[in-house]
Amino acid sequence: MDIVHYINPLYSLSGLLVGMLVGMTGVGGGSLMTPLLILLFGIRPETAVGTDLLYASATKSVGTAVHGIAGSVDWRVVGLLALGSLPGTTATIYLLSTLGPWSHAINALITMVLGVALLLTVLALLFRKSIVRMSMARMTEMSVERTRWLTVVTGFALGVLVTISSVGAGALGVTALIFLYPRLPMVRIVGSDIAHAVPLTLAAGLGHWLLGGLDFMLLRSLLIGSIPGIVIGSVIATRVPEAILRMVLAAVLAVVAARMFLA
């Protein structure tokens, strides 16, 4: 069979561009890829979400390996998040399965949740510095036990949100960890968030696969473009101020969110 049947160049180009943004900003994978597949290519929402979840799991596995070797992953935090996110993912997949075959109502739910998740991501990007200041001001107020339980609850919320929309494991996860663990160095927050995203997106992606929401040709095409894209974006990131990158990404996500609500 011709290679075109296995790889779509336009999907690979999309993977390249989104991969570059992820490499430059650290976020934007699910936030941009899923809306792009739905709005630009007309992919059904459930297929876009399911494929993007496994796409994210594959790409973030590489990031986890790098952070793990560098010692920038707090596995205790990862475990607490997973303690909440995996049951959240399981419950959400079960709920979707009880609703029967993919329907217009489910697609509408995915589109609505995706739009809300994008707006939350925009707020997280724009007000991250304020959140850091708030968390530093109250770092002595919360007990260790309460922090643990809130981490599990945060994981559960991320599990539900990511399973429905594929958005939230990046910017929202990092923002929540900044608030919960203000003393943790940023590199370990990012590393821990990426590490947690792997089992979360893998479990959610497999769940969508069982429900029939997966396109392997699409997945292969995206990965072929995204891997070099992330490398290129990481190089560019050293030459462009982070504040500018975040503002640009927030503006793009705001436009995409508005378009999702109007879809």
72 has pLDDT over 50:
yes
For residues 88 and 156, the answer to whether their CB atoms sit within 8 Å is yes
Task: Please state the domain count of the chain.
Answer: 1
**pLDDT-based confidence at 133, cuts 50/70/90?**
confident
User: How many CA atoms are closer than 13 Å to the CA of 175, on its beta-carbon side?
Assistant: 19
State the pLDDT confidence band at 150, using cuts at 50, 70 and 90: very high
Mean pLDDT of 116-145: 73
At residue 11, does pLDDT exceed 80?
Answer: yes
Mean pLDDT of 67-81: 90
pLDDT tens per residue across span 232-259: 876 776 676 767 767 777 777 777 777 6
pLDDT for 206: 93
Q: What pLDDT score does 212 carry?
A: 83
Percent of the chain beyond pLDDT 90? 20
Burial class (CB in 10 A: 0-12, 13-18, 19+), 7: middle
To which H or E segment does residue 53 belong?
Answer: helix 45-70
Closest CA to 54 of 166, 205, 167: 205
Torsional sign, CA 124, 125, 130, 133: positive
If you average pLDDT over residues 186-203, what whole number do you get?
Answer: 87
Task: State residue 3's pLDDT score.
Answer: 43
Lowest mean pLDDT among 44-48, 99-103, 208-212: 99-103
Is the pLDDT reported for residue 149 higher than 70? yes
**Contact yes or no for 7/73 (Cβ under 8 A):** no
Are 24 and 252 spatial neighbours (Cβ–Cβ below 8 Å)? no
DSSP assignment of 21-41: HHHHHS--HHHHHHHHHHHTT
Q: Which domain holds residue 149?
A: 3-262
With 50 as the cut, is the pLDDT of residue 1 above it? no
What is the overall mean pLDDT for the chain? 81
**Given pLDDT bands bounded at 50, 70 and 90, which one contains residue 2?**
very low
